[in-house]
Amino acid sequence: NGMAGVRTLEELLKLAPDLYDITVFGAEPHPNYNRILLSPVLAGEQTLDQIVLNPWDWYSSHNICLHAGWTVTQVDRARRVVYAQSISGEKTSAEYDRLLMCTGSNAFMLPVPGKDLQGVLAYRDIADTQAMMEAATKYKHAVVIGGGLLGLEAANGLMLRGMQVTVVHVCPTLMERQLDATAATLLQQSLQARGLNFMMGAQTQALVGDATGDVVGVDAVERF
């Protein structure tokens, strides 16, 4: 039920609106939304409702059976049946003639000690964004591991929500895939002037927790 899957359905409905009875399974309890705009939501520039691409009534108006908040657990290709389970544990199944799998991806979590502590978040979906927004109301300090585009967007959003943010980046310059050293230096200087802090050329070694199991810090060593 992400951007690719629903976009495909939009095109299919244009070409052959009555060809299939369509069933959609999506693990998130939301209609289709624009993941690219999660950063403006975190920064307080947009709301979650504003980034919805296909609202609930779009599905019903096109006779699409949407299972939002249902995770597919098994696909029986011999019998052509999809099995799924809801957030509450309820189970269901749906037969198919054609199966379209648009599962997207999961964020990579650093394989370091402490990665499973409370307060360690990836940044991929609405739930991650809401968790960061909630954390900003309770805590003062945040560490963002990664000085690429998404990491800097997350850092900026958390800063705008009142947190003191440090970006830990393994390379000597920011956004090394997009910017040369001169442009990256100018970007870092501009972000520092706005209030962001940086640990450049630093390899994350571990995430440190307290007695309650919450993450409280990051151990990193300089590589350059």
- Name the 3-class secondary structure at 74: strand
Tokens of residue 113, six digits: 């000690």
- What integer is the mean pLDDT of 14-23? 95
Closest CA to 159 of 196, 209, 118, 116: 196
Collect all residues with Cβ–Cβ distance below 8 Å to 118 and sequence separation of at least 6: 209, 212, 213, 214, 215
- Type and span of the H or E element at 193: helix 181-194
Tell me what percent of the residues of the chain surpass a pLDDT of 70. Answer: 99
Question: Residue 104 — pLDDT band, cuts 50, 70, 90?
Answer: confident
pTM of this structure: 0.88
Residues 151-196: tens digit of each pLDDT: 999 999 999 999 999 999 999 999 999 999 999 999 999 999 999 9
* Alpha carbons 182 and 201: distance in angstroms, whole number: 16
Q: Round the average pLDDT of the chain to a whole number and report it.
A: 94
Question: Residue 215 — pLDDT band, cuts 50, 70, 90?
Answer: confident
Q: Give, in degrees to the nearest 5, the angle at Cα 110 between 212 and 37.
A: 95
Residues 106-131: tens digit of each pLDDT: 888 999 999 999 999 999 999 999 99
- Type and span of the H or E element at 157: helix 149-160
pLDDT in the model for residue 214: 78
